[in-house]
Amino acid sequence: MKKEALALLVLALPLPLLPGCAEGGSGDLVPLTFGKLFEEGEEYRDRYVHLTHAGLLSKASSGESFLLLVADHDSTCLCYLSFQETLGARMEKENLLVYSIDPTEFGGGKDALGLEIVEGYETLAIFSKGKLVDQEVTGETGDPFTSDPAVLSLWLEERVRPSSMLYVDKDQLDALYEGEEPFTVGFLRSDCPDCRHLEEAVLQPFNEKERNRSYVIDVNQEGIRLGKDGEVDQALWESFKREVGLAEGQEMTPASYGEGYVPSFLRIDPNIEVGEDRRSMVVDGFVYMNDVIAEVEGRYLVQESFYDEERASSLEWLGEFAGRKVLEGLEIPEEEVLSAGETLIWDRESAGMLHDPLAQAFLEFYVPAIEG
């Protein structure tokens, strides 16, 4: 099929892009921060995590390493359909997470971050630590990059290393609980500042190494935190947190903390289920941030924390940790305390000095790097 004449919407290439080059040096593979567990039978557009222009800028500013497809998913061109099949096969094989953005998002002279955007064609781009390092624009019908899985596979193999920390949806999470293999899963929320801090400070550098598989889930989805109308259903959310053991209940779990918070990670063993209680499957876990700060006689103290004396002696992964294991009772310098109305908050950068090593220790314990 012959496409209409090219119409360059945006061509903003401030620096030459070198194939296969990342910030680490010529020939380095870009380690993608996250993957996405492939779902059989998904429609083309549903394979992707769709971004607005603001969302893309946020991804870039956070320093994430990711794949981006610039595409009009309403296209009926045979070239587009062929490319979807070719790319989809690679996404299935490698559990690739590919973000997608419509080219119209760059209208009005918005920053294209160096992306080459051509009307009627798709652009597959690689970002390393938030910066564009490579891209390829699809061609006419018969273009090997578009239609030959071997060509696209080689292009990706020479440039990126897929992540083994995979996003799942609720149905996929349910399937993991119903399986037999122990697994590690992180509960994150797309609009949560603490989650973003964890991703930037811990998860991004952690996933630069090749590791055993783990999972993360965005709780902002139907059946977890959102109802069928797409709005937050607080009762549903509270019930879910009790069900999986994030929130404290009559029967404590190693990772239960207060009403349950994100970001949190759990280690789950489906083989120790008691009845249909998923709380009983919790082997271990950690909570990031979410300490309660109080002013006591002019001093600022961590009044409540996941990291208290009881958990310090009961959490398996903390046994070999050489850093500070107990944060409850810690005095905080006044300059590290922020106020939000009547609520006192520990500055994230300062809190991260203690929370980041704890999160790293848990992940290293349950999701070790693959040697060799």
| 41 has a pLDDT exceeding 90 | no
Contact 275, 341 (CB under 8 A): no
The answer to whether residues 95 and 37 touch, using CB atoms and an 8 Å cutoff, is yes
Mean pLDDT across the stretch 243-250? 91
Question: In sequence order, which ranges of the chain are alpha helices (DSSP H)?
Answer: 53-62, 78-94, 144-147, 149-157, 170-177, 193-198, 204-206, 234-244, 309-314, 348-366
**Is 86 in contact with 34 (CB distance < 8 Å)?**
no
pLDDT of amino acid 340: 85
Q: What are phi and psi of 334, to 5 degrees?
A: -55, -35
Question: What confidence score (pLDDT) does residue 320 get?
Answer: 85
Asked if 176 and 185 count as a contact pair (C-beta separation under 8 A), the reply is: yes
Distance CA(179)–CA(270), nearest Å, equals 7
- Rounded distance between C-alpha atoms, residue 320 and residue 358, angstroms: 11
Mean pLDDT over the full length of the chain: 90
Structure tokens at 210: 């090749």
What is the average per-residue pLDDT within 75-93? Answer: 91
Beta bridge partners of 101: 70
Note the pLDDT of residue 1: 37
Spatial separation of the C-alpha atoms in residues 156 and 366, rounded to whole Å: 28
Q: How confident is the model at residue 198 (pLDDT cuts 50, 70, 90)?
A: very high
At residue 13, does pLDDT exceed 60?
no
Total count of residues recorded for the chain: 372
CA 194/CA 197 separation, integer angstroms: 5
Single pTM value for the model: 0.91
- C-beta of residue 309 within 8 angstroms of C-beta of residue 331: no
Burial 270-305 (b: 16+ CB within 10 A, else e): beeeeeeebbebbbbbbbbbbbebeeeeeebbbebb
**pLDDT at residue 16 is higher than 60:** no
Query: CA 357, 363, 369: angle at the middle one, nearest 5?
Result: 115
Tokens of 267: 């280690």
Which of 67-71, 163-167, 172-176, 275-279 has the least mean pLDDT? Answer: 275-279
With bands split at pLDDT 50, 70 and 90, how would you rate the model's confidence at 210? very high
| Contact call for residues 79 and 146 (beta carbons, < 8 A) | yes
Return phi, psi of residue 184, to 5°. Answer: -115, 130
pLDDT band for 235, please (50, 70, 90 cuts): very high
Mean pLDDT of 10-18: 39
Three-state secondary structure call for residue 237: helix
- Reduce the secondary structure of 243-298 to three states and give it as a string: HHCCCCCCCCCCCCCCCCCCCEEEEECHHHCECCEHHHHEEEEEECCCCEEEEECC
**Residue 252 pLDDT more than 80?**
no
Largest CA distance in the chain: 77
Structure confidence by residue, pLDDT tens digits, 116-170: 999 889 999 999 999 999 999 998 777 899 889 999 999 999 999 999 999 999 9
Tens digits of per-residue pLDDT, 253-304? 889 999 999 999 999 999 987 777 899 999 999 999 999 999 999 999 999 9
Lowest-confidence region among 24-33, 78-87, 99-108, 110-119: 24-33
Residue 134 has what DSSP assignment? E
Supply the angle between the helices 149-157 and 78-94 in degrees, to the nearest 10.
Answer: 50
pLDDT, residue 372, reads 62
CA separation (Å) from 370 to 209, 240, 268, 317, 362?
8, 33, 21, 19, 16
Residue with tokens 């690689």: 126
